[in-house]
Structure 1
């Protein structure tokens, strides 16, 4: 049976048009709650700058978390591939612990294990909660990046290692000139997918007092105190996160198809 036959096409339709369906439902819900209540729309417009600033805090946390996690993850991944057991076993323990730990537990851990301020000489420097949340998200990010790196290395055919050794390349030269350039293309799609997940995980920051977009929405909801406004503002957050993460997901799928044969 042909792939585009009427019996199969309807089954494939929801997956292809999931984003359009979600946006359509969001628009319909928006009209249901906003159209009959003009104060809801007015309040939402008033709180829009604060929501945008709060979402900027979420994006900042996600960028720093994935940055720190990537640097630490590459180091841990390199240690996990070391022939020395003294380096290999701590790296494997790190990966297993932080890949399987609940993110909320890690965020609470970093929030309370680090001090609220750091003393440098006679000066006290504040250690804000959003930095602690960044570190809490960077821990699972590092473990996942280490696994992505290990998987990329393992996917390189062993014949390339053997051919490079036959040409008298050292282990360092093989990594720098042959293995790592190929690993970058293999790592990029899952790394981008991980960043999208980290971005959605920043919604947990409000639970430890970070003034992000979720905390702003809660303050706005309590201030306006309208059921319709509460529904609309959280629906707006759904659309906001979706609009930011969905293009990343689509780009990830494109890169997976493009680098499928590398």
Structure 2
């Protein structure tokens, strides 16, 4: 391991501890006023329900994006140009499309309700946000899958052919299980990114944590509470995403070893 890599870990830990100390100091200073603490306790259930929506959106977006992305990543390697070119175009376009634009697009493209067997069913905005985030997630997962498949030695394909496996059987039973380990660290980084991007759903009226904090600060109309509410938002996302990032780095070191 190089000296730069050895020195990066302590510096990263120092930054984390410094950030934590600043947040704690700011919260303690703000909560010195007991009335502010009482107001925060009253609004915590509302903020918590918003954060649960962030988690739900990110989980569903990653689930849908992973299922579609794995299929697209496999199709990127097909020798049929009529299949490969449209898939590559999809991946390149949506990998470079801003998440906010896609969320707005899905919000206004899809109807507010759909008709199923004569029954009108609502199409909620949070579900449209899930689709808006699942689209870029699928493009990134497609590239992760393609890279993982191409990193498998060709001897694995040759050995599976010698054992009588078809190409599809080899892909399903031999290649993809090996790709799972190699894809896990970048997949987790993508999950953390999609989780943070779920806050963009507040701009289309979805009741999530950032939207809840804005509602609370508007209702209370106190500057100190507004600062505290957004500190809670920042701390909540940090508490969720930093362990994912830390676990990703550990997995990367373990897989390299």
TM-score bracket, normalised by the shorter chain, equals over 0.9
Q: TM-score, normalised by structure 1?
A: 0.92
1:74 alignment partner, one of 70, 73, 84: 70
For residues 85-121 of structure 1, what are the alpha-carbon distances to aligned partners after superposition, in whole Å with 9 as ceiling and x for unaligned? 1111111011001000011100000000000011123
Q: CA 1:3–1:105 in 2, change beyond 3 Å: closer, same or farther? A: closer
Counterpart pick for 1:249 among 233, 242, 245: 245
- Asked if structure 2 preserves the Cα contact closer than 8 Å seen for 1:98 and 1:139, the reply is yes
Shift of 1:260: 1.6
Query: Are 2:18 and 1:25 equivalent residues in the alignment?
Result: no
Change (3 A) 1:137 1:45: same
Q: Number of matched residues?
A: 255
Q: After superposing the two structures, state which structure 1 stretch, 172-181 or 76-85, moved more.
A: 172-181
1:154-188 CA-to-partner distances (Å, cap 9, x unmatched) read 11122333343344432123212321111000011
Corresponding residue number in structure 2 for 1:16: 13
Write out the 4+ residue segments of structure 1 that deviate beyond 6 Å after TM superposition.
none
The one-character-per-residue Cα deviations of 1:20-45 (angstroms, maximum 9, x if unpaired) are: 2211110011122221x222211111
Alpha-carbon RMSD across the aligned residues, in angstroms, is: 1.9
| 1:212 Cα offset (Å) | 0.9
SS at match of 2:256: coil
CA gap of 1:154–1:44, structure 2 versus 1, over 3 A, is same
Query: Is there any run of 5+ residues in structure 2 with no aligned partner, and where?
Result: none
TM normalised by structure 2 equals 0.94
**Is 2:212 aligned against 1:212?**
no
CA distance in 1, matches of 2:212, 2:9: 39
CA distance in 2, matches of 1:12, 1:120: 54
Q: Which moved more, 1:168-177 or 1:224-233?
A: 168-177
Whether the aligned pair in 2 keeps the contact of 1:54 and 1:211 (CA below 8 Å) is yes
* Pair 1:181 & 2:177 matched: yes
Change (3 A) 1:215 1:153: same
CA distance in 2, matches of 1:242, 1:63: 17
2:31 is aligned, of 31, 34, 46, to 34
What is the SS of the residue equivalent to 1:259?
helix
Q: What residue in structure 1 maps to residue 144 of structure 2? A: 148
Aligned counterparts, 1:64-213, within 5 A: 64-213=60-209
Deviation of the 1:3 alpha carbon: 5.6
Secondary structure, counterpart of 2:115 in structure 1: strand
1:235 paired with 2:231, answer yes
The whole-number CA distance in structure 2 between the counterparts of 1:33 and 1:140 is: 39
Instruction: Tell me, in whole angstroms, the C-alpha distance in 2 between the residues paired with 1:178 and 1:105.
Output: 39
Superposition deviation, residue 257 in structure 1: 1.5
